[in-house]
């Protein structure tokens, strides 16, 4: 393999700095006693304290978490069952059509999703608020769950299914004892993706939220429109730490899974414990 020379490593470093500079800037000024984002006058925890006593913001943060957990859960259930439906579709053509329909929301711009959901809710006379946001989040998270689960289904050993049926297992038993255990990693990944989609969404929520309900993204938007407030900086520091934690955790889980898979491939008889010290 050809290794990088100094210049190319430099280039990578510059891209790295460019990508992180704005985030570092935000975090740095969250400790600014001066109250602006350009003159650092002294260190303070003041903005974190005001964050901790901002009950409106805390309520909104909890609401955001509630929507994310509930929508991810619902999307994971519906999406997993949908993926099983696609997997069992008899005709190749039906599968392709279902998958294309599935992917429409993944490639559509957020504004289109938001505007068309708004049309839908208005037509049915659904009141905008918590439930319209929750339904929208479920709706745009389902396709990613399907995409995470489907490859696992296709990797599944079909002999196991036939064997189970031969031994007299019912459909539900096959589902519970064979299919679900072998696609669990896909389901977990789907849940995780759905959760982060929901937390990060701004545009769709902005369209369907109405007046009474807000998520963190919507609240940050309306505060940012009013100008700089270092409380947002403090909030972004906390959110950055949370995001870091989640990603690093996910990275290690994946790494572990990859390693486990490798050992399984090398040693099909499952002597793992004897081999590894």
Partner 1 sequence: MLKQRKALSVPYYLWIALFVIAPVFLLLYQSFQNIDGSFSLANIQTYFTSTVYLTMTLQSFLYAFVITVVALLISYPAAYFLTRAKNKQLWLLVLILPTWINILLKTYAFIGILSQTGAVNQFFEFIGLGTQPLLFTRLGFIIVATYIEIPFMLLPIFNAIDEIDDSMVFASRDLGANEWDTFRSVIFPMSMSGVRSGVQAVFIPSLSLFMLTRLIAGNRVVTLGTAIEQHFLVTQNWGMGSTMGIVLIIIMFVVMFLTGKRRKGGQRG
CA distance 8 to 164: 55
Task: Select the span of 83-91, 155-163, 187-195, 259-267 touching partner 1 (CB under 8 A).
Answer: 83-91
Q: Does 91 bind partner 1 (CB under 8 A)?
A: no
CA distance 85 to 175: 12
Q: Does 17 bind partner 1 (CB under 8 A)?
A: no
One residue of 71, 76, 102, 205 binding partner 1 per CB under 8 A: 102
Neighbour tally for 164: CB within 10 Å: 17
Q: Does 251 bind partner 1 (CB under 8 A)?
A: yes
197 contacts: CB under 8 Å, gap ≥ 6 = 137, 140, 141, 144
One residue of 17, 52, 58, 101 binding partner 1 per CB under 8 A: 101
Nearer CB in complex with partner 1: 87/130: 87
x/- string (CB under 8 A) for partner 1, residues 193-212? ---x--xx-xx--xx-----
Q: Which residues pair with 43 in a beta bridge?
A: 32
x/- string (CB under 8 A) for partner 1, residues 155-194? ---------------xxx--x-------------------
In contact, 18 and 28? CB cutoff 8 Å: no
Site for partner 1 in 135-154 (CB under 8 A): 139, 142, 146
71 contacts: CB under 8 Å, gap ≥ 6 = 134, 137, 138, 141, 194, 198
Q: Does 225 bind partner 1 (CB under 8 A)?
A: yes
């Amino acid at each position: 393999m050809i290794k990088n020379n100094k210049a190319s490593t430099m280039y990578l470093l510059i891209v790295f700095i460019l990508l992180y500079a704005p985030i570092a800037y935000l975090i740095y000024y969250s400790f600014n006693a001066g109250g602006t984002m350009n003159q650092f006058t002294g260190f303070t925890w003041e903005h974190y304290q005001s964050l901790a006593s901002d009950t409106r913001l805390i309520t909104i943060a909890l609401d955001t978490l509630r929507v994310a957990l509930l929508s991810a859960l619902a999307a994971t259930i519906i999406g997993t069952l949908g993926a099983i439906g696609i997997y069992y579709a008899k005709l190749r053509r039906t599968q392709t059509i279902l998958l294309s329909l599935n992917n429409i929301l993944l490639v559509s711009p957020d504004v289109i999703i938001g505007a068309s959901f708004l049309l839908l809710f208005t037509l049915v006379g659904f009141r905008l608020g918590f439930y319209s946001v929750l339904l929208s989040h479920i709706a745009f998270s389902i396709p990613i769950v399907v995409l995470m689960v489907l490859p696992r289904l296709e990797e599944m050993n079909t002999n196991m299914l036939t064997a189970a049926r031969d031994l007299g297992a019912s459909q539900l038993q096959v589902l519970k004892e064979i299919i679900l255990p072998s696609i669990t990693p896909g389901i977990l990944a789907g849940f995780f993706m759905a959760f982060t989609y929901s937390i990060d969404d701004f545009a769709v929520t902005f369209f369907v939220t109405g007046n009474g309900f807000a998520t963190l993204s919507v609240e940050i938007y309306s505060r940012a429109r009013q100008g700089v407030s270092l409380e947002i900086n403090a909030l972004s520091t906390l959110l950055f730490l949370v995001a870091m934690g989640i990603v690093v955790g996910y990275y290690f889980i994946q790494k572990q899974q990859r390693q486990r898979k490798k050992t399984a491939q090398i040693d099909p008889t499952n002597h793992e414990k004897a081999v590894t010290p």
